[in-house]
Amino acid sequence: METRKAEEIFKEFKEHSIAEFFKKNRQMLGYSGKVRSLVTVVHEYVTNSLDACEEGNILPDIEVRVKQIDEDRYNIVVIDNGPGIPRTFVGKALATILAGTKFHRYVQQRGQQGIGAAGCTLFAQITTGKQILVKSGTGTGKAYSCNIAIDTIKNKPIVANLVDIGDFKGLYVEGEFADVKYENSDHGIYEYLRRTALSNPHVQIKFIDPEGKESVFVRAVNVMPERPKPTKPHPLGLAVNDLLEFAQMSQSRKLSAFLVDTFARVTPNKVAELKEFAKTLDFEKDPRTLTWPEAEELIKAFESVKWIAPDASQIKPIGEEQIKVALKNILDPEFMNVVERKPAVFKGGVPFIVEAAVAFGGTAGKKTDEGYSGSILRFANRVPLLFDIGSCAITVAARDVQWKRYNIDIDTQPVSILVNVSSAHIPYSGVGKESIAQEEEIIDEIKLAVMEAARGVQRYVSGKLRLHDEENRYKTIMRYTKQLAQDLHEITGKDQKKLEISIEQLVAKNYPKVTEKELPKKEKEEEPEIEEEN
């Protein structure tokens, strides 16, 4: 067989737009599986609405309508009362992949990529050929409506039928999607919205399901949470490359001023300390001329100095009280314990906060054929994560805890573990944002949080367990009594029935901690009086 030359092979070389890429790999956006695909659409629109309302300082009022059109084909409407989208931006905001207001800023928001809404537009387009209907009123002029699609070859928006409409304030999006399915399960839209409402008590959500049933998740808190402000990166966790990029964009004339201006917790005093560790470095130089080896030296100095923990004020977790309310509502457990960790720092100097809870009993855990197994409720920036559980840092961390130490067995007990990770930049493992990447720093923090939460339920579970164990042992032994009585009868020649009763009494005497009430009763058999044998 003849070999082929590179020139011939490379005739087929092409560049592709990111829209073409996702068109061919829609599963990477979360569009795999019918049930998941439908939830993904709602998830993208609702997180966008929440972010928009909060950016506009408006208490979010969101309505989600799901209507079945045909088998595996649904119409979805999401309406919010947010600031809307200026008409010059509507195409790019909803039909260009990798465009938005969030990607380049260090602010804690639910969306962070500029992919979600454009992904929905793409998904509608490839499954039904339909454009997305948009209505928007910004409150500063006439509202408009239009249709939106993506030119996938160029990753550019197509805006059609742009017309003025009457009064409207907020954003209305409507799309038709096929290859999707509505399911009322733990992985369905209702559950997604319920969990969203529980972790965002300032939000009101109305949901109209395919059967026309209306559910309202009522706003529990009438105060707008303080809007997270952009956070400065913390010196710990910064890589050489991060430092150089910040330096290149700096407006400061001196390296020392740049450090104080750009990073959290860097004061002139700290700069003086840094000088001790980076002796050859000129702190008076223009930060834009910083070289890789110099930046490397600075990073080493960063690691040698003691730092105050990052400022948590700009990260808004769910909060202990609200987690308790949420767990009570979702699981109604017998017992629970909630923990909020101090902020930690991830790669790039990004601070993050982990909250964890362990709940026992009620509807906690998952019912299985053999009894129970533990379940995990995952959140990232208060957004419930319903899919990709296996690859998530939360799952890996929770499973890695030595549960035996806490007398808990997550394989057989009704235990639920809740974890919420909050940060200006969550390292999602995929574009679909359904799981957090397995980064060491994050796994470690989650583990510590879960362990702390587990410690709080340990005593309760231990008590439960002891009773359970004794009951089990008792039942096991009782199972043997009949066979034993028969065997003994053969050995000793004594009356089998009497032997059986004697053995049962002996066993019962040896397990006095199991209270009468809890002892299993023999069915349909009278307990005869017992002759004492000596």
Nearer to its own copies, 430 or 456 (CB): 430
With CA atoms as reference, report the closest residue to 84 among 165, 144, 157, 159. 144
Which two structure tokens, joined as six digits, stand for 369?
């054929």
As measured in angstroms, the least distance from the Cβ of 295 to its own copies is 8
Instruction: Rank residues 4 and 306 by Cβ distance to its own copies and give the closer one.
Output: 4
Report the nearest approach of its own copies to the CB of residue 129 (Å): 4
Q: In sequence order, what are the residues at sequence separation of 6 or more whose Cβ sits closer than 8 angstroms to the Cβ of residue 229?
A: 107, 314
Q: Closest distance between its own copies and the C-beta of residue 208, in Å?
A: 26
Look up residue 384 and give its two tokens.
């419930």
Least Cβ distance, residue 275 to its own copies (angstroms):
23
Shortest distance in whole angstroms from residue 25 CB to its own copies: 7
Q: Collapsing DSSP states into helix, strand and coil, what is residue 505?
A: helix
- Amino acid, res. 117: A
**How many C-beta atoms lie closer than 10 Å to residue 114's C-beta?**
18
CB of 1 or CB of 163, closer to its own copies: 1
Residue 42 Cβ vs its own copies, minimum distance, rounded to whole Å: 19
DSSP 459: H
Indicate the residue among 72 and 334 with the shorter CB distance to its own copies.
Answer: 72
| Shortest distance in whole angstroms from residue 186 CB to its own copies | 16
**Which residue lies nearer to its own copies by CB, 158 or 389?**
389
Q: Which residues pair with 373 in a beta bridge?
A: 366
**Beta carbon nearer to its own copies, 340 or 504:** 504
DSSP 387-403: S-GGG-HHHHHHHHS-G
Q: Which two tokens stand for residue 96?
A: 């260009």
* Residue number with CB closer to its own copies (269 or 534): 534
Q: How far is the CB of 55 from its own copies (least distance, A)?
A: 5
Nearest approach in angstroms of CB 49 to its own copies is: 13
Provide the angle, in degrees to the nearest 10, between the axes of the packed helices 440-492 and 393-400: 40
Q: Is 334 in contact with 360 (CB distance < 8 Å)?
A: yes
Nearest distance in Å: CB 7, its own copies = 6
Q: Could you tell me whether strands 383-385 and 371-373 are parallel, antiparallel, or unpaired per DSSP bridges?
A: unpaired
| CB nearer to its own copies: pick between 255 and 350 | 350
How many CB atoms within 10 Å of residue 515? 10
- Measuring CA to CA, which residue among 375, 370, 372 is closest to residue 357? 375
Of 28 and 208, the one with the shorter C-beta distance to its own copies is 28
> Which residue's CB is nearer to its own copies, number 294 or number 355?
294
Longest dimension (CA), the chain: 104
Q: Which of 256, 56, 35, 23 is nearest to 123 (CA)?
A: 23
CA distance 253 to 257: 7
Beta bridge partners of 103: none
CA distance 32 to 91: 25
CB 117 to its own copies: min, Å: 13
Q: Please give the full DSSP string across 442-457, using - where no structure is assigned.
A: HHHHHHHHHHHHHHHH
Can you tell me the distance from the alpha carbon of 426 to that of 428, in angstroms, rounded to the nearest whole number? 6
CA distances from 241 to 274, 296, 340 (A): 19, 9, 31
Alpha-carbon distance of 263 to 108, in angstroms, equals: 17
User: d(Cα 79, Cα 45) in Å, to the nearest integer?
Assistant: 9
Provide, rounded to whole angstroms, the least separation between the CB of residue 431 and its own copies: 6
Given the complex with its own copies, which of 325 and 488 has the nearer CB atom? 488
Q: Which amino acid belongs to residue 91?
A: G
Give strand pairing partners of 436.
428
Q: Among residues 126 and 271, whose Cβ is nearest to its own copies?
A: 126
